[in-house]
Chains A and B, each alone.
Chain A
Amino acid sequence: MSHATTEITLSARHLTRSFGSQTVIRDISLELKRGEVLGLLGHNGAGKSTTMQMLTGCLLPDDTGTKKCSIEVCGIDLLRHPALAKAHIGYLPETPPLYRELGVDDYLAFAARLRGMQPAKVADALALTKQRCGLTAVGHKIIGTLSKGYQQRVGIAQAIIHQPDVIVLDEPTVGLDPSQIREVRTLIRELGDAHSVILSTHLLGEVVSICDRVEILHRGTLVYSGTTAELDSHGGVAGNLEENFIRLTESQETEAQP
């Protein structure tokens, strides 16, 4: 096998973050290889979005002093050299970061240039990305006039237009109708072949259909990490993913409140 298949594109160690006195994330470590789709699974408020914000440099991890936290993107330290590292990241936040008053083409071209793409290459990347995300017909429309589903697609498009090595998608299929969900899932699978994708979701079905590996997050800590197939048979109840997920998170709850 070639060396590229095992290349680690994203590595985060000992991330901790608190807001005020409330610790939202406790000592999380993640690793992502090229060509892998990682699902971050958890209940509402488990800390999925906060983790993703830290991975993309939108939020700084706390310096706890005991363990040295670090985030590396393609071998570049995100905390020390943010500008270099962020060039390799594409990020779709929970709410797509859309300038509603701009046209789709203008917005995507701006996003590509903002991520450091050469002006000469933007036109090709724009055409390719629009075709991949099914936006070809709406290129001249104003983003604010598009439906929620199309806005979500524009959000995905801005995250992948500059061909980043690491694509971070926070709940990418929220607000889409079933056929759109299927299209987006196919797109993510495609992206996962050449890039690495990390996506958050609270839908188990999504994890099964697109992710290679799962990390389950509960109350700010990682409670499970393994391949999708392993979770399927975790604890001996083969084929019952949902039961396993609920048991994993509930067993944590009882430990936390004895």
Chain B
Amino acid sequence: MIRLIALRELRSLFVMPSTWFVFAALQFIFAWFFLNALQTFLDFQPQLAQIANAPGVTVIIAAPLFNMVALLLMMLVPMFTMRLIAEERRNQTLALLMSSPISSRHIVLGKFFGLLVFLLALTCSIPLMLYSLAPGTHLDHGLLLGNCIGLLLLTASYVALGLYISSLTAQPIIAALGAVAVLAGLWLADLGASAPGSPWHLASPLHHFRNFNNGLLDSGDAAFFVLFSAAFLLLAMRRIDNNR
């Protein structure tokens, strides 16, 4: 049942022309950033050759690219999550799901995984672009893997939060603005908090992504993402159950 709802979500996304337009535009932006970073690396290559223990190509190109995608997704994911439940409520299609022999768990997880698969398809071009450098140079596979895992977990946490906010309202725009506000708020609080042990750092998904971005796999960071996602998914299920 979860798969059925996820597939329906994907199908609805892919029959809309706007999805394809966004898809194409983002590939263009990703490629632009990638080529920009590559150009910077090529420009600085002579200087780097003179430094002992200079940073490699993966650190100079991949890390900033993943960091940029993480920031971009913060703005982008709410645009996709806003539809998930708010629009179903506005178009009264939620009644079809509510009167079917499935529980809120199926609805929430189906929508969560459906959108997650879509976003994976959207971002899978980034490792592919980076691996296009493999024939010409030596890549740091560990750093790339760490970044990919980090980006996956970060996206999952964004989707879970967006899904919960979407379940609170019947207006997709409100859901989008709400999710952007919360995510940007957490990010800015993280940037603004000057004390190193400030709780604001702990609450911000982007702060926990930083270790992955540097190639450090910390189980604490991974646990944060899993707990963050699970908490908001559970809240969304409760919200759907209680809002009857």
Contact B4 A93 (CB under 8 A): no
Asked if A114 and B244 sit within 8 Å, CB to CB, the answer is no
In the complex, are the beta carbons of B99 and A89 less than 8 A apart?
Answer: yes
Q: Whole-angstrom distance between the alpha carbons of A94 and B96 in the complex? A: 12
Residues of B within 8 A of A228 (CB): none
Considering the chains assembled together, what is the distance between the CA atoms of A177 and B220 in angstroms?
Answer: 63
B141 within 8 A of A: no
Interface string of A92-120 (1 = CB under 8 A from B): 01111111111000100011011110000
Determine whether A189 belongs to the interface, using a CB cutoff of 8 Å to chain B: no
B11 pairs with A115, CB closer than 8 A: no
Within 8 A of B (CB), among A229-253: none
Q: A58-B99, A89-B99 are in contact. Are A113 and B4 (CB under 8 A)?
A: yes
Please tell me if B12 contacts chain A, counting CB pairs below 8 Å. yes
Instruction: Known contacts A101-B16, A106-B11; decide if A84 and B4 are in contact (CB<8 Å).
Output: no
In the complex, are the beta carbons of A115 and B92 less than 8 A apart? Answer: no
B101 interface residue, CB < 8 Å from A?
Answer: yes
**Quick check: A60 and B96 within 8 Å, CB to CB?**
no
Contact B100 A60 (CB under 8 A): no
Alpha-carbon separation in the docked complex, A59 to B213 (Å): 46
Number of B residues whose C-beta is below 8 Å from A? 22
B93 contacts A97, CB within 8 Å? yes
- Verify A110–B93 contact, CB threshold 8 A: no
On chain B, the residues within 8 Å of A158 by CB distance are: 96
Q: B167 → chain A, closest Cβ, in Å?
A: 15
Asked whether B98 lies within 8 Å of A58 as measured between CB atoms, the reply is yes
* A114 x B4 contact (CB < 8 A): yes
CA distance A57 to B98 in the complex (A): 7
B7 (CB) vs chain A CBs: closest residue: A110
B12 touches A101 (CB 8 A): yes
**A100 near B91: Cβ-Cβ < 8 Å:** yes
User: Which A residues are in CB contact (< 8 Å) with B92?
Assistant: 93-97
B101 with A87: CB separation less than 8 A: yes
Q: Name the distance in Å between B109's Cβ and chain A's nearest Cβ.
A: 15
Q: How far apart are the CA atoms of A87 and B103 in the complex, in Å?
A: 12
Q: Which residue of A lies closest to B14 (CB)?
A: A101
Contact of B4 among A82, A83, A98, A110 (CB under 8 A): A110
In the assembled complex, B189 has its CB within 8 A of some CB on chain A: no
Give residues 50-69 of A contacting B (CB, 8 Å): 53, 56-60
| Cβ contacts under 8 Å, A53 to chain B | 95
Q: Nearest CB to that of B8 among chain A residues?
A: A110
Confirm or deny: A48 has a beta carbon within 8 angstroms of a beta carbon on chain B.
no
Tell me if A86 and B12 are in contact (CB < 8 A). no
Residues of A within 8 A of B99 (CB): 56-58, 86, 89, 91
Q: When the two chains form the complex, which single residue of A59, A101, A106, A114 contacts B96, counting CB atoms closer than 8 Å? A: A114
* B185-244 with Cβ < 8 A to chain A: 244
Question: Is B94 close to A, CB under 8 A?
Answer: yes
Q: Given contacts A60-B244, A114-B97, is CB(A99)–CB(B8) below 8 Å?
A: yes
Contacts of A111 in B (CB 8 A): 96
- B residues less than 8 Å from A85 (CB atoms): 101
- Min Cβ gap B97→A in Å is 7
- State A94–B1 Cα separation when bound (angstroms): 25
- A86 partner, pick from B11, B16, B100, beta carbons under 8 A: B100
Interfacial chain B residues near A87, Cβ < 8 Å? 101
Is the C-beta of B49 less than 8 angstroms from some C-beta in chain A? no
CB of B117 within 8 Å of the partner chain: no
Question: Are B94 and A83 interface neighbours, CB within 8 A?
Answer: no
User: How far, in angstroms, from A116 to B103 measured CA to CA in the complex?
Assistant: 12
- Which residues of the partner chain B approach A86 to less than 8 Å between Cβ atoms? 99-102
B101 adjacent to A115 (CB under 8 Å): yes
Q: Which residues of A contact B96 (CB under 8 A)?
A: 91, 97, 111, 114, 158
B-contact bits for A159-197, CB 8 A (1 contact / 0 none): 000000000000000000000000000000000000000
Known: A83-B102, A86-B101. 9 other contacts (CB 8 A): A53-B95, A56-B98, A58-B98, A91-B99, A93-B95, A97-B96, A100-B91, A115-B100, A115-B101
Can you show 17 pairs from A to B with CB atoms below 8 A apart? A56-B95, A56-B98, A57-B99, A83-B101, A87-B101, A91-B96, A95-B91, A97-B94, A97-B95, A99-B8, A101-B15, A102-B11, A102-B12, A114-B4, A114-B97, A115-B100, A115-B101
Nearest 6 pairs of A and B residues by beta carbon: A97-B96, A95-B92, A91-B99, A87-B101, A86-B101, A56-B99
